[in-house]
Amino acid sequence: MSRSLIAAALAASLCLPGAAFANEANEAALKARQSLMSLIAYNLGPLAQMAQGRIDYDAEAAQAAADNLFNLTRHSQERLWPEGTAEGQIEGSAARPTIWENLDDFARRYGDLQTAAATMQGAAGDGLQSLQGALGGLGGACQACHQQYRVSD
């Protein structure tokens, strides 16, 4: 009886630091992916504002934002989505648990974003109309994934 108690306590003491470590790693992943999203949104900003006519079109600024978007979307997603980082599992997450049941589909949608960002990189500096033409696909790629895999906030 007491031996099994000791064994349990020992097992628990061995697990706890491991759990704390996993927690820290998960929090770092959450912070990293949300930071990446913020940077993507930050660079989407001037492109969308120009397309909506809220600021004047500026080819150089548009190209710079589109280049950034292209590079940001080259960041690999592999270490950004560890298990245990869904909404309800970790504070501040808006990721639906279904991501981890559909990793192939999730990756495909990120691939769509990469393609749309490449299209935007080729279009943003070529005039307002060209930018506007590429924005729909870019916004659509964001939305397609958010609709499926992000909880309402």
Partner 1 sequence: MRRFGGFLLASIVVGLVVWWLARPGDLSPATQTALAAHAADAEAGERIFWAAGCAGCHARPGIEATDPVEERLVLSGGRRLESPFGTFVAPNISTDTTHGIGGWELNDFARAMLHGVSPDSTHYYPAFPYTSYNRARLEDVADLWAFWQTLPADDTPSIGHELSFPFTLRGGLGVWKLLNLSDEYLLPEFPDAQVMRGRYLVEALGHCAECHTPRNLAGGLDASRWMGGAPNPSGEGRIPPIPDPRWSADDIEAYLFSGFTPSFDVVGGSMADVVVHMAQLPAADRAAIAAYLRALIE
Site residues, partner 1 (CB under 8 A): 37, 41-42, 44-45, 48, 52, 54, 87-88, 94, 96, 137, 139-153
Closest distance of CB 140 from partner 1, Å: 4
Closest distance of CB 128 from partner 1, Å: 15
Closest distance of CB 150 from partner 1, Å: 4
Which of 23/52 has CB closer to partner 1?
52
Which of 77/115 has CB closer to partner 1?
115
Q: How far apart are the first and last CA of the chain?
A: 49
Alpha-carbon distances, residue 96 vs 36, 54, 126, 152 (angstroms): 18, 33, 38, 10
For CA atoms 125, 118, 73, 70, the dihedral sign is: negative
Residues in the chain: 153
Which of 21/31 has CB closer to partner 1?
31
How many Cβ atoms are within 10 Å of 116's Cβ, its own excluded? 22
Q: What is the DSSP letter of 55?
A: S
How many Cβ atoms are within 10 Å of 11's Cβ, its own excluded? 10
Which of 45/127 has CB closer to partner 1?
45
